[in-house]
Amino acid sequence: MQLIDTHVMMESLSLQDLEAMSASGVKALIADAAGGMDYATSAQASINYFEHTLVGETKRASDYFIDVYVILGINMMAIPADYEKILDALPEYLKREKVVGVGEIGMEPKSGTCPDLSKQEEILKAELRMAKEHNKAAVLHLPSAERTGWIERYIKLIDDAGLDRGKAIIVHSDASTTKIITEAGCMAGLSVLPMRRITPEDAAKIVAENDMNRILVSSDNRIRHRSDPLSVPRIAVQMRRLGLSEADVEKVLFDNPNKVFNLGI
Ligand SMILES: [Zn+2]
């Protein structure tokens, strides 16, 4: 069995974590080079972090036979004053081998660096247009309050950018929002995190009750919150416990991300 963890911040994964993931069947990771930043000193700091993820982290994981693919952009929690320099650099980054999307991007009223939602929307629009131009996926952050309203707002922005809804992954979905997202034709991302109150059992249950063709799962492994690098293998176990087939496990935990991020593995 091969698995893909669709959202991790690489700096949170120790060599022991990578070894345990590899031993548990994790074949590839989608590394978030935007969400890894919880501060925003400058555009250059963000760009340095893109490079570090693309070069250093792919090499570190390859020692454990794990392929790292990268999403990048401007995370709404970490918008530096000179963010336009990142927007200018993004088209070149989207051409880089291993870059499979923009993300984690989106809007968040609680952003400490840029609470101005109209500015956040302007940045998001530019990034969605770039995803469309470069035929890449877009990973969008769903705020924790007024979730239905945010989903509607995102879908409008996705459509306005001309991006295929099937290339848009709305993450931090839960039992109440997954159906809304998948019925709209977007991909719902389940982040297994105590802070999101989603366990591997919850994720397996949500998968079983919804359109399995439109769900991705991740550990959302990060330094700032408690997380578990083995969340995705644990979801596989829970899916089997619910009586789902190996084909279903493979579809959700491998085929879906392979397809939406166009990994070709
Ligand atoms: Zn998020």
- What CATH number should be reported for the domain holding residue 123? 3.20.20.140
> Would you say residue 246 has pLDDT above 80?
yes
- Calculate mean pLDDT across residues 156-180: 98
Per the structure, the count of domains in the chain is 1
> Would you say residue 40 has pLDDT above 80?
no
Return the percentage of the chain with pLDDT > 70, whole number.
98
- Calculate mean pLDDT across residues 87-114: 96
Ligand 1 mean position, distance from CA 143 (Å): 7
Residue 132's identity, in one-letter code, is K
pLDDT at 36: 58
What strands lie across the sheet with 137-141, from one edge to the other?
3-8, 26-32, 67-72, 99-106, 137-141, 168-171, 187-191, 215-218
Ligand 1 mean position, distance from CA 3 (Å): 22
Asked if the structure places residue 217 within a domain, the reply is: yes
Ligand 1 mean position, distance from CA 47 (Å): 20
pLDDT at 226: 85
Asked if the structure places residue 265 within a domain, the reply is: no
* Inter-residue contact 217 to 198 (CB < 8 Å): no
Report the distance separating Cα 105 and Cα 125, nearest Å: 10
Instruction: Identify the weakest region by mean pLDDT among 72-81, 141-150, 189-198.
Output: 189-198
Asked if the structure places residue 136 within a domain, the reply is: yes
pLDDT at 139: 98
- Calculate mean pLDDT across residues 93-113: 96
pLDDT tens by residue, 1-32:
899 999 999 999 999 999 999 999 999 999 99
Ligand 1 mean position, distance from CA 210 (Å): 22
Asked if the structure places residue 186 within a domain, the reply is: yes
Ligand 1 mean position, distance from CA 103 (Å): 9
Ligand 1 mean position, distance from CA 55 (Å): 24
pLDDT at 1: 84
Ligand 1 mean position, distance from CA 245 (Å): 30
Ligand 1 mean position, distance from CA 220 (Å): 9
Instruction: Identify the weakest region by mean pLDDT among 38-47, 65-74, 181-190, 238-247.
Output: 38-47
Ligand 1 mean position, distance from CA 70 (Å): 16
pLDDT at 126: 98
Ligand 1 mean position, distance from CA 243 (Å): 30
Ligand 1 mean position, distance from CA 140 (Å): 7
- Calculate mean pLDDT across residues 240-244: 98
Ligand 1 mean position, distance from CA 125 (Å): 17
Asked if the structure places residue 208 within a domain, the reply is: yes
pLDDT tens by residue, 115-164:
999 999 999 999 999 999 999 999 999 999 999 999 999 999 999 999 99
Return the percentage of the chain with pLDDT > 90, whole number.
92
> Would you say residue 37 has pLDDT above 60?
no
Q: Which domain holds residue 65?
A: 3-260
